[in-house]
Amino acid sequence: MSTSPAEDRAESLRMIRDSVAAIVPSDGGLGRVRGLRFTLPGIDPAVWRSIGEMGWIGLRLPEGDGGIGLGMSEACALYEELGRALVPEPLIDASLSARLLAASGDDGLLAPLLAGESLVLTAWQESADSLEAPGDAGATRLFIPMAAAAQAFLLPVREAGELALYAIEGARPAVLKTQDGGHFGSLAADTGGARRVAHDVAEAMELALDEAALGTAAYLLGLMERCFEMTLDYLRQRQQFGKALGSFQALQHRATDLKIQIVLTRASVEGAAADLDAGADGDARRALVSRAKARAADAALRVTREAVQLHGAIGYTDEFDIGLFLRRAMVVANRFGSSALHRGRYMRCVAQPASG
């Protein structure tokens, strides 16, 4: 029996979502996440290998580059499921590195990265709240997620008007732990012992950063949706004055407001992913990504904060899982640009030139 393109896409998305069960407990338990908090390197090498074996790191790359050639819609479905489980392995960042290495044609680092045998991270950020890689040769690179787990780093450096790409292996970045139990690394931009792997990756870098920003929005969507579901379950079960908390109209109104935020975020993320798959580029792509990321960042912080409040005093304890979602949202929300940065970028991208 033949199927339509829409049905094929729906089946592809379902299979991507189902594949996450390979690394996430069937009951949604967060024991593994808790066990990795505030440890170094902060990820599970066995899980990272599984991620590579399933093809997730190269999910967006063409088959000719060792990837599986799926769309941004599939990538966002995957990231959403990882957000629901608070998976700490830096797949979005590794996928960014994979795109740069594929553009460079250097298979020496790309093949083991795609296989999950190594972790390669890109040290692109030079200041807080940015979505550009200036490539300043003298600038320390900041906010490299889970940097202690990486075997190599990619360093974009501006040379003669182009964005060259260097590979640094064996570096030991300075590490600063974050409130969700992970860490950021900082790395001196020293190309003395580095190997240049590409003369110009400016175009690939811009696309990779946009895809990472949209992927982060999808991760936040999954995170807030799971957090909201847990909160609804709590409101149905917790009794006060002989009634379930969820029966009180004031709490129902608050829950409805949060549900609206999640639905609007889903529409924005899925719409942006579909338009990118349809070929949106330039300012159109940037506007779509920024609209989704701005909404996801604001909504995730609102949903997780109110979820903790709706749980009452127990929600503020470290032993109760709901707080893990708020801590993770507070760290991830500004990754690849804050909501303020993306609102500004959106306005610049959609602004119409003044008429004469």
Which tokens sit at 298?
A: 């604001």
- The pLDDT value given to residue 44: 98
Whole-Å CA distances, 271 to 6, 263, 280, 291 = 14, 12, 11, 10
How far apart, in whole angstroms, are the C-alpha atoms of residue 23 and residue 29?
A: 11
* Closest to 289 measured CA to CA, from 205, 212, 203, 204: 212
Can you give the pLDDT at residue 355? 44
The per-residue pLDDT for 4 is 82
Per-residue model confidence as pLDDT tens digits over 17-76: 999 999 999 899 999 999 999 999 999 999 999 999 999 999 999 999 999 999 999 999
Report how far Cα 33 is from the mean position of its chain's Cα atoms. 16
Q: Which two tokens stand for residue 265?
A: 């975020």
**All residues at 6 or more sequence positions from 158 whose CB lies less than 8 Å from its CB, including other chains:** 134, 135, 136, 137, 164
Please tell me the predicted confidence (pLDDT) of residue 193: 87
pLDDT of residue 246: 63
Half-sphere exposure of 123 toward its Cβ, with a 13 Å CA cutoff?
Answer: 32
- pLDDT given at position 2: 66
**pTM of the full structure:** 0.96
pLDDT at 113: 98
pLDDT of residue 354: 47
Q: What is the DSSP letter of 313?
A: G
Residue 287: predicted pLDDT: 98
How confident is the chain (356 residues) per 10-residue block, as mean pLDDT? 77 92 93 98 98 98 96 98 98 98 93 98 97 96 98 97 96 97 96 94 98 98 98 85 73 94 98 98 98 98 97 92 98 98 97 56
Which residues contact residue 103 at a Cβ distance below 8 angstroms, ignoring those fewer than 6 apart? 198, 201, 203, 204
| Listed residue (113, 17, 131) closest to 73, CA to CA | 17
d(CA 27, CA 261): 26
Q: Burial level of 284, CB count in 10 A (0-12/13-18/19+)? A: middle
- Give me the domains of the chain, ranges plus CATH numbers: 204-350 (1.20.140.10)
Write down the pLDDT at residue 234. Answer: 94
DSSP-derived secondary structure for 172-206: --EEEE-TTS-EEEEE----TT-EEEES--HHHHH
Bond preceding residue 25 cis, omega within 30 of 0: no
